[in-house]
Amino acid sequence: MNSPTSGSGFEVTFWGVRGSIPSPGPRTVATGGNTSCVEVRVGGQLVVFDGGTGLRLLGEKLLEELPVTAHLFFSHVHWDHIQGFPFFTPAFLKGNTFHLYGTRNVSKTIEETLAGQMDYPNFPVTLKDMAATMRFRDLAELEEVRLADGAVRIFGVSGNHPNGVFAYRVEYGGHVLVYATDTEHYAVHDPKMLQVAQDADVFIYDSQYTPEEYAGDGGRRPRVGWGHSTMMEGAALAELANVGTYVLYHHDPGQDDAAVREKERRARERFPRAIAAVEGLRLDVTRARQGPAASRLA
């Protein structure tokens, strides 16, 4: 039996890299069209950030590793970050255990929100029909979660997004991964993002727009106030925070593969160790300061 918690390394795999809505099709096949979901294997623990449609694919892979114990951290509960959860097959199997973390969405807990999207008439089965053991925990800003007998430390800080968002920092064995999606930059660099990203080996940052898309150049509708950032702001933050590898994340559904590659090219002009997230991308966090130590899932 393969265990999802075997080993003591620090590795991240991308299962969904899009924002707002899934965008499958021939123009996005190289990048992928699934929404946000990132798997982290750290210190013998399985940690998952967000439950977009990429979570369904991760669930299929985890069927090879039963029984599963995992820790799911939700940045926030907009649909592109939770819509894969009702299709997460391991959650329907008795013997699996899931610890789910998030913040209150205006007035609801993470449990109430996940249950709500599966209530009639939205879905044919309910959260209560999921046979796995589920333990819910609502987090406050900077509240720590300790895993692996305290060797893994995870905490979140608030970002700039409608209805709120958390950016998470994972520390283990002297190495750091940061997951900071769905946050909008300010006229000055966000001091919280600089703080949470400081000395990160891997910095996953919301890079949904180009500066031109964000500003609405060329007669396009501006995206100011929509709660998302640009790849050039991500590159600037990575430089200022002494980041190892900067990962462009949460690509706009309207950007085809060529547009994502162009965002990556431009980001590298400012920060050479930048890489655009694509489905199946795997990074070794411990080697990220040597450049993106990347591979792809078979």
**pLDDT given at position 102:** 94
Residue 40 in any domain: the answer is yes
Instruction: Measure Cα distances from 164 to 5, 75, 222, 224 in Å.
Output: 31, 9, 21, 16
pLDDT higher than 90, residue 15? yes
Q: Is residue 292 part of a domain?
A: no
293 within some domain? no
**242 lies in some domain:** yes
4 located within any domain: no
Segment 102-159, tens digit of pLDDT: 987 656 889 999 999 999 999 999 999 999 999 999 999 999 999 999 999 999 999 9
Question: Domain range holding 118?
Answer: 10-287
| Total structural domains within the chain | 1
Per-residue burial over 68-102, b = 16 or more CB atoms within 10 Å of its CB, e = otherwise: bbbbbbbbbbbebbbbbbbbbbbbebeebebbbbb
pLDDT tens per residue, range 193-204: 999 999 999 999
Q: What is the CATH number of the domain that holds 92?
A: 3.60.15.10
Assess if residue 297 is contained within a domain: no
Q: Is the model's pLDDT at 191 over the cut of 70? A: yes
pLDDT at 85 over 90: yes
Residue 2 domain flag? no
The answer to whether position 140 is within a domain reads yes
What residues have CB less than 8 Å from 34, skipping those under 6 apart?
A: 15, 16, 17, 18, 22, 24, 52, 53, 54, 56, 57, 84, 279
pLDDT 10s digits, 203-229: 999 999 999 999 999 888 999 999 999
Please check the confidence at residue 298 and state whether its pLDDT lies above 70: no
